[in-house]
Chains A and B, each alone.
Chain A
Amino acid sequence: MKIMIRGVRGSIPTTGPDTTRYGGNTSCSVVAEGDTILVLDGGSGMQKFNLLNNTGIKRIDILLTHLHLDHIQGLGFFNPLFDPTLDVHIWGPTSTSSLHARLSRYLSPPLFPVLLRDLPCKLTLHDIGNSSFEIGPFTIESRYVIHPGPTVGFRISNRRSVFTYIPDHEPALGSFELHNDKKWISGFDLASSADLLLHDAQYTPQEYQNKLGWGHSSMDDALKFSAIAEVKHLLLTHHDPSHSDEQLDHFFTNLKSRNNYSFPYELAAEGMQIELP
């Protein structure tokens, strides 16, 4: 499977000369294998999507971890939704109201001029929670994780590899530190022994002390979570919008100096592409 990173910024798109290297678009990644394309989250990184051009592919699947604005604001600017020849499936977490009802709050006036029901594509919505489903060659597990409001992470497997996607996650909430007992760790089943994990790391440890309960992780907690789950490769994402490229480099240097984990880890950046077998 091929993984393409299209948006790594948390909370709000952040454009400018200070964020050009890591990128300013909010959460979006693409997973592709053969004719199957999964778009993970609909942040602003979703815009200018052209992977279908001249491919003959007639179906695309969008997997939403949750419906906070930074994860859906790109939907209205996602070209396949306006193509009447395409089947578009949107999968997202359920709550007391349906995914359709919740998405319609954004895709309707006055927030957006086009109603969800008026989108030209052939649209199918799927309510998910702790779910298992298959799309093309992929088996996908979704599990609720700790983040305000109904939020899931995804474990995406083909026959050879596992990619885990948990961009918004605060597994250390309420504890002085992460539990060592794996049964008690939010997201553990999703990340266990994954070949690649894309995980929330919005804050430095100092910043996190003032953001407890906001639903995001410190860089150090993301590393510890990955180590407990025996992840093989970690990409840190959901960069805080106040962090410039220069600051991120500085934080990452400090992170490496105080941690001695053996698995590779790096800051996610827009435009990254990773192949898993």
Chain B
Amino acid sequence: MPAYDIEIILNRQLADCLSMPVFITDTTGNLIFYNESAEKVLGSRFEETGEMKVEMWSTIFKQKDEEGNLLSPESLPLVRTLHDRYPYHKTFWIESLQGKSEKISVTSYPIIGRAGKFLGAVAIFWEAKDL
């Protein structure tokens, strides 16, 4: 497999230096990198799992609203970014496979390279604050 575009590599290198959980996907949503902070969210280590197909990592936790209703994938920031290549932000609840719930905010943005080419997307998870 050829090396990733430089814009993807630089995003990983930035993520490597950050203490916020950062997830990087390709253009179809496959998880190609997550940093050390994101490992705690996923409950697995990147060195062990490597890249994850979208079908696999999208089932690791359920996304819910304040009332505990399941959110549709289409309403989630990263999915929306992958769909229309714009940044999004949303606060919601996630429930892990172990049943642990946590309120988080997610910011996503597209990676659009020098030639205007869409290369992937980044999602940053924040500890949710009541605004």
Contacts and interface: CB of A to CB of B under 8 A. Distances in A.
Contact of B3 (A150, A173, A182): A182
A242 interface: no
Nearest to A143: B6
Interface residues on A, range: 20 to 34
11 contacts: A94-B114, A129-B115, A130-B5, A150-B114, A175-B13, A182-B3, A183-B3, A184-B9, A184-B33, A186-B6, A188-B3
A129 to B, nearest CB: 5
A138 interface: no
B5 A189 contact: no
Given A146-B6, A186-B3, 20 more contacts: A129-B114, A130-B5, A130-B115, A143-B6, A144-B5, A144-B114, A145-B6, A146-B9, A150-B114, A174-B14, A174-B17, A175-B13, A175-B16, A182-B3, A183-B2, A184-B4, A184-B9, A186-B6, A188-B3, A189-B3
Contacts of A146: 6, 9-10
Contacts of A139: none
Nearest to A152: B6
Central interface residue in B3, B10, B13, by most chain A CB within 10 Å: B3
A155 B49 CA distance: 33
Contacts of A129: 114-115
B4 A183 contact: yes
A95 interface: yes
Central interface residue in A130, A174, A182, A185, by most chain B CB within 10 Å: A174
Interface string B1-42: 111111101101110110000000000000001000000000
Contact of A144 (B6, B14, B16): B6
Interface string B56-90: 00000000000000000000000000000000000
> Nearest 8 A-B pairs (CB), nearest first?
A174-B13, A144-B6, A188-B3, A189-B3, A129-B115, A183-B3, A189-B2, A186-B9
A133 to B, nearest CB: 15
Contacts of B12: 184
Contacts of B6: 143-146, 186
B3 A185 contact: yes
